[in-house]
Amino acid sequence: MNKSDYKRLLEEIREHDFHYYIEAKPIISDFEYDQLYKKLEQIEAEHPDWVVSSSPTQSIRDSIHRGFKQVEHNSPMLSLANTYSREEVEEFVARVHRLLDYDTCSFCCELKMDGLAISLTYEDGHLLRAVTRGNGRKGDDVTANIRTIKSLPLNLKGDVPHRLDVRAEVYMPLEVFQMLNQEKEEAGEEVYANPRNAAAGSLKLLDAREVFARRLDLFVFSIETPGVVKSQMQAHERLKEMGFPTFSESHFAQVKSADEIMKFAGKVEDQRHKLPFEIDGIVVKLDEVDERGALGSTAKSPRWAMAYKFAPEQGQTIVKEITVQVGRTGVLTPVAELEPTYVSGSKISRATLHNAEEVRRLDVRIGDTVTIEKGGDVIPKVVEVILDKRPSNAQEWQMPTSCPSCGSAVIHVPGEVAIRCSNVEGCGNITVQRIIFFASKKAMNIENLGDKIVERFYHEGLVKSLSDIYRLKPEDIEGMEGFKQKSIDNLMQSIEKSKEISLHRFIFALGIKYVGEGTAEILAAEFGSLERIGEQTEESLEAIEGIGPKVASSIVAFFNEEKNLSEIEQLLGLGVQPKLPKKKQLDHDFLGKTFVLTGSLESFTRSEAADKIKERGGKVSGSVSKKTDYVLVGEDPGSKFDKAKKLGIEILSEKDFENLL
């Protein structure tokens, strides 16, 4: 290794830092990155005279983004040194004992969330500011976006310090991540590599309404204000008392030795796939807060804490074929058909390749030996090709120029990475996938109507549209191979049962582009009926928290299509009855009243005011109409205020509103 090699390694790591921290689109796995970083540390240890101040080992990587105000941290947000080795855990424990000059200290072990570190500041119990790690000294003020996280208390419980700084990890639940990627794939957009990058990409959005729709969550795990707690174990208790979302008791523990640390790590690793969020290891901290100062920190990491990361769950297998799936929006997705292998206890025989660009980037060929990776419930993916094992007859793959389902020409829409079938209305695969989605558990939940049965019914001519499901009769199925009387009865009962469906599930089942479960819930709560949703304009939809321009445009386009309206009418005519969930009977004047909010409020954000209205049985609308009961007006109100005066709707000042509360 010479100095030129060292400089090339620096550039390589900086390039990966850019993809990871700035674009939130890593092109290598965390494990591969960590190995490069370890190599850099080893070189710099051997050649300290080579080290440059801009080396990633000398400072926290800068992930500050344009469009956000930068804020100085009250105390630096350092990153943790990490290891995959038991030996290095033992070295860490021994080093702490040596520096403290005694070996009876305790450590606190807890989950290492694979998310985004955030610093939260509260003043007199009220959320003042939320700031990303950034470069460790200052970060992005993302307070408006953090406020959209439902589990985060805006006001704390009990006796709290005048000024309180806490640290949290923002994450995207696995279920939400899978749905977001499915929507992006169907829309022809580039998918996120993992939940951590999806969360990072979401927090970078400049429109808090779009962040709200991403349904982020967080855990608060430490108190930074001096004197509030004496130990990390006590911090977990205190945070819970204040009302913060914290780890459950099984997700942190006090330990005394490296053996106990590894025992905790093993227990967590065994349970990690049952968790609804991604973790990539455990964090080990010196439990006694007052002793940490004696250990100090390096330029980027505290010496009193470290992360033990789990080895990536990967396997190697052979690509037998690359097939193409046609989704419900017409997107063609290449899929690697694999020699079956076991990863994370699951048998893997297929892995998505997402799109043609990804196939080219990885240079995957039929016959290649590939590394596949699976974490939690995330769909298996091809990580890399083992070029040393590439056979001489490995075949390059090309995206077909015609749809493998209907033979129609494929199209590449400018600005999209996806290739689509041009025959959206007539392609059999598109129709089948729409029906499968409609009947799925998260949509209409029609039990006993699985993927294979939908395909069979379609090809038999029994179900060619969504509404055809409700036209099925027992005699249509009798005599079909594999269907006995009991299975026919079960299917018919499931179809009948699905007619009683919540409005938001029905909206979701319709498969409106960009409308996931969260957006469907917003639409159902806001408008209460399909008819009212269909009456909205892009402007009125965009006024609703959680709905951005792209989503609003898609909703309006869907309800402007005659075939969609006809399908909905047929479904309703066949007995499907979408209903709003029953609300609790509340003894408050707001019950059943519709509010519109305009202008800047002083005592609350508009989101907080909306929550207070909904808690008391009221509704919040994005547009003023004759059905509006009150318009709450803050400073600098817009056109809604003028329209309310013209219609003679009661205007509330902030003080009037507080009196009514």
- The domain boundary residue, chosen from 445, 477, 498: 498
Q: Does 59 reside within a domain?
A: no
| pTM for this entry | 0.56
Which residue spans within 191-330 are E strands per DSSP? 217-223, 252-255, 279-286, 305-309, 314-326
Report the CATH number that the domain containing residue 169 is assigned in CATH: 3.30.470.30
Cβ contacts of 240 within 8 Å, gap of 6 or more: 246
Number of domains in the chain: 6
Report the relative pairing of strands 630-633 and 650-652 from DSSP bridges: parallel
166: closest CA among 224, 236, 124? 224
Residues 261 and 109 sit within 8 Å (Cβ to Cβ) = yes
Dihedral Cα 477, 483, 487, 490, nearest 10 deg: -20
| Residue 43 predicted with pLDDT over 50 | yes
Domain check: are 19 and 43 in the same one?
yes
The mean pLDDT value for 457-462 works out to: 93
Report the CATH number that the domain containing residue 362 is assigned in CATH: 2.40.50.140
The mean pLDDT value for 266-287 works out to: 89
| Residue 52 predicted with pLDDT over 90 | no
β-partners of residue 435 are: none
Domain check: are 541 and 634 in the same one?
no
CA atoms within 13 A of residue 444's CA, in its CB half-sphere: 29
- The domain boundary residue, chosen from 498, 524, 542: 498
Give the CA distances from residue 170 to residues 205, 551, 556, in Å, rounded to whole numbers and listed in that order.
14, 24, 32
Highest mean pLDDT out of 63-72, 171-180, 595-604: 171-180
Domain check: are 80 and 17 in the same one?
no
Q: Does 57 reside within a domain?
A: no
Domain check: are 390 and 429 in the same one?
no
pLDDT for res 583: 57
Active site residue 112: yes
- The CB density around residue 144, as the number of other CB atoms within 10 Å, is 16
550 versus 122: the higher-pLDDT residue is 122
Q: Does 453 reside within a domain?
A: yes
Report the CATH number that the domain containing residue 27 is assigned in CATH: 1.10.287.610
3-state secondary structure of 42: helix
Please state, in angstroms and rounded to a whole number, the distance separating the CA atoms of residues 568 and 564.
6
Please state, in angstroms and rounded to a whole number, the distance separating the CA atoms of residues 506 and 531.
13
Handedness of CA 509, 511, 516, 522 (dihedral sign): negative
Task: Give percent of the chain with pLDDT exceeding 70.
Answer: 93
Q: Does 61 reside within a domain?
A: no
Report the CATH number that the domain containing residue 618 is assigned in CATH: 3.40.50.10190
In this predicted model, what pLDDT tens digit does every residue of 194-239 receive, in sequence order?
A: 788 888 888 888 777 788 888 899 999 999 999 999 999 999 999 9
Please state, in angstroms and rounded to a whole number, the distance separating the CA atoms of residues 357 and 586.
54
Task: Give percent of the chain with pLDDT exceeding 90.
Answer: 45
Please state, in angstroms and rounded to a whole number, the distance separating the CA atoms of residues 532 and 333.
35
Domain check: are 119 and 258 in the same one?
yes
3-state secondary structure of 195: helix
Report the relative pairing of strands 410-411 and 419-421 from DSSP bridges: antiparallel
DSSP element (H, E) containing 203: helix 195-203
| Residue 399 predicted with pLDDT over 60 | yes
Please state, in angstroms and rounded to a whole number, the distance separating the CA atoms of residues 576 and 286.
59
Q: What radius of gyration do the chain's Cα atoms show?
A: 28
| Residue 166 predicted with pLDDT over 90 | yes
The mean pLDDT value for 304-318 works out to: 88
| Residue 79 predicted with pLDDT over 90 | no
Give the CA distances from residue 179 to residues 350, 381, 522, 548, in Å, rounded to whole numbers and listed in that order.
19, 16, 16, 18
Measured in whole angstroms, the distance separating CA 472 from the mean position of its chain's CA atoms is 37
Domain check: are 328 and 257 in the same one?
no
Domain check: are 234 and 101 in the same one?
yes
Domain check: are 399 and 430 in the same one?
no
pLDDT band at 580 (very low <50, low <70, confident <90, very high): confident
pLDDT for res 284: 96
In this predicted model, what pLDDT tens digit does every residue of 335-355 receive, in sequence order?
A: 999 998 877 656 788 998 988
β-partners of residue 352 are: 335, 381
Q: Does 64 reside within a domain?
A: no
Measured in whole angstroms, the distance separating CA 141 from the mean position of its chain's CA atoms is 20
Domain check: are 536 and 504 in the same one?
yes
| Residue 442 predicted with pLDDT over 90 | no
- Average predicted confidence (pLDDT) for the chain: 86
Domain check: are 321 and 455 in the same one?
no
Please state, in angstroms and rounded to a whole number, the distance separating the CA atoms of residues 376 and 392.
35
* Catalytic-role residue among 3, 25, 69, 112: 112
Domain check: are 352 and 437 in the same one?
no
- The domain boundary residue, chosen from 281, 309, 337: 309
- Write phi, then psi, for 110 (nearest 5 degrees): -150, 170
Measured in whole angstroms, the distance separating CA 618 from the mean position of its chain's CA atoms is 29
Please state, in angstroms and rounded to a whole number, the distance separating the CA atoms of residues 470 and 502.
17
pLDDT for res 18: 67
| Residue 60 predicted with pLDDT over 60 | no
Q: Does 588 reside within a domain?
A: no
Please state, in angstroms and rounded to a whole number, the distance separating the CA atoms of residues 519 and 213.
6
Cβ contacts of 182 within 8 Å, gap of 6 or more: none
Quote the DSSP letter at residue 409: B
| For the chain, counts of helices (H) and of strands (E) | 24, 24
- The CB density around residue 201, as the number of other CB atoms within 10 Å, is 16
Give the CA distances from residue 120 to residues 66, 87, 128, 220, 498, in Å, rounded to whole numbers and listed in that order.
20, 35, 8, 9, 44
Domain check: are 505 and 454 in the same one?
no
In this predicted model, what pLDDT tens digit does every residue of 169-194 receive, in sequence order?
A: 999 988 888 888 877 776 667 777 77
| Domain ranges, residue 620 | 594-660
Q: Does 397 reside within a domain?
A: yes
| Residue 377 predicted with pLDDT over 50 | no
Measured in whole angstroms, the distance separating CA 456 from the mean position of its chain's CA atoms is 34
The mean pLDDT value for 307-330 works out to: 89
Q: Does 217 reside within a domain?
A: yes
Measured in whole angstroms, the distance separating CA 175 from the mean position of its chain's CA atoms is 8
Residues 577 and 540 sit within 8 Å (Cβ to Cβ) = no
3-state secondary structure of 536: coil
Highest mean pLDDT out of 62-66, 232-236, 423-427: 232-236
Please state, in angstroms and rounded to a whole number, the distance separating the CA atoms of residues 651 and 373.
58
527: closest CA among 626, 622, 649? 622
Report the CATH number that the domain containing residue 576 is assigned in CATH: 1.10.150.20
What sections of 243-370 are H helices per DSSP? 258-271, 292-295, 356-362
pLDDT band at 379 (very low <50, low <70, confident <90, very high): low
Please state, in angstroms and rounded to a whole number, the distance separating the CA atoms of residues 223 and 115.
18
Where does residue 15 rank: exposed (0-12), middle (13-18), buried (19+ CB within 10 A)?
A: exposed
Cβ contacts of 261 within 8 Å, gap of 6 or more: 89, 93, 107, 109, 255, 282, 284, 308
pLDDT band at 530 (very low <50, low <70, confident <90, very high): very high
